[in-house]
């Protein structure tokens, strides 16, 4: 679903990532680790075309990302749900409308989607926050809302950038269980995290591959966690 062939990325002339080759198969679960500043967020952005590789080739659903025009890339991104680290919302809109924004922007908002939105908010435990404004949410609620927004278009791949970085352990476990459940539904999942306790907690839940960025390269740190 995502393929890297000898991919490199440089920022302001300095190499951040180099010689990365990788294939993410359908239905697999991955953790992406590495120290702060190692390039985890950059790697995720390369995965969904938010950044273009400085060298090599990135293929998404068998298509060369660099060869896609703006419309083609936008269509491709609908199949990738991204949970961003900073969880940005429009504070003047209710949580439900924030979650539904990808539907609105892509022209897919229909009356029938209202039931899907309600089911999704119930699934992430936000059924009582339908009309709440984002500033009224706790950190854990914001993260679950971010996950719901990433899922609203029913993507095939979920990329989560430090989704548990600003929440307590109990909420980290809850978010992990939601992502594992998505994987069991057939979704490909990658979680970028520096939280080794979270990775260990996944041991009893899902077979996971651990990838680590070190010295600008990607290393397989473990298979079947």
pLDDT given for residue 224 in this prediction: 41
What pLDDT does residue 225 have? Answer: 38
The ranges assigned to domains in the chain are: 2-79+155-222, 89-143
Residue by residue, pLDDT tens for the chain (225 residues) are 899 999 999 988 788 899 999 999 999 999 999 888 888 999 999 999 999 999 999 999 999 999 999 899 988 999 999 998 888 899 999 999 999 998 888 777 666 667 788 899 999 999 999 999 999 999 889 999 999 999 998 899 999 999 888 788 888 898 899 999 999 999 999 999 988 899 999 988 999 999 999 888 998 775 443
pLDDT in the model for residue 9: 94
- Which pLDDT tens digit goes with each residue over 164-220? 887 888 888 988 999 999 999 999 999 999 888 999 999 889 999 999 998 889 987
What is the model's pTM?
0.91
Q: How far apart are CA 48 and CA 73, in angstroms?
A: 9
Q: What pLDDT does residue 33 have?
A: 93
Tokens at 4, concatenated? 């890297």
Rg over alpha carbons for the chain, rounded to the nearest Å, is 17
- Beta carbons of 142 and 169 less than 8 angstroms apart: no
CATH class of the structural domain 2-79+155-222: alpha beta
Cα separation, 133 vs 53, in Å, equals 37
């Amino acid at each position: 679903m995502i393929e890297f062939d000898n991919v490199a990325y440089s920022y302001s002339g300095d190499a951040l990532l180099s010689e990365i080759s990788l294939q993410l198969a359908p239905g697999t679960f991955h953790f992406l680790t590495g120290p702060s500043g190692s390039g985890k967020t950059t790697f995720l952005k390369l995965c969904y075309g938010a950044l273009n590789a400085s060298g090599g080739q990135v293929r998404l659903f068998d298509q060369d990302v660099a060869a896609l025009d703006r419309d083609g890339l936008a269509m491709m991104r609908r199949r990738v749900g991204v949970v961003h680290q900073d969880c940005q919302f429009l504070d003047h809109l209710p949580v439900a409308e924030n979650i539904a924004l990808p539907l609105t922007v892509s022209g897919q908002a229909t009356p029938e989607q209202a039931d899907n939105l309600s089911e999704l908010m119930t699934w992430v435990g936000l059924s009582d926050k339908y009309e709440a404004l984002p500033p009224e949410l706790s950190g854990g609620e914001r993260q679950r809302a971010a996950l719901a927004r990433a899922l609203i278009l029913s993507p095939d791949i979920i990329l989560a950038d430090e989704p548990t970085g600003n929440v307590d352990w109990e909420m980290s476990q809850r978010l992990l269980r939601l992502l594992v459940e998505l994987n069991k539904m057939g979704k490909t999942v990658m979680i970028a995290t520096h939280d080794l306790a979270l990775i260990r907690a996944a041991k009893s839940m899902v077979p996971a591959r651990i990838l680590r960025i070190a010295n600008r390269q990607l290393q397989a740190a473990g298979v079947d966690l």
